Structure 1
């Protein structure tokens, strides 16, 4: 199973739609604005995922399995947003 988050799919669409016959990426201001927006979303996704994984490890070290399960549910919600391929 391969997961693609909607942010990554949107970035791929923007690049695909703005690639010329020679494989060069040609971006105008409008496309750059779209990419900046998606890159920000990507940064937030990565930051949130990494933070949750670190918290999960801390909860595990503390022996708080209820907290680990809560965090795992949040990580599963992020994964559920992904398109399964």
Structure 2
């Protein structure tokens, strides 16, 4: 009985050793903060990975269902065609 318990304990330690190693190493790798540059007079666009100029404070007057795109500061055509 004692030998069976020893073998079970060795098997359990062998099974959990990779899990313990992953738990110790993974948080150090996964918690790294990305470096975001300081964009003076603008804002950081994480999708394009670049600094963008400041957005215009006053929207453009877009006509006929066109919509104002604040990122490019232009009027865009409607997404759905007129019916």
TM more than 0.5: no
Query: TM-score normalized by structure 2?
Result: 0.30
The structure where helix makes up a greater share of residues is 1
Give the structure with higher Rg (CA): 2
Higher strand content, 1 or 2: 2
Larger RCO, structure (CA 8 Å, separation 6 or more)? 1
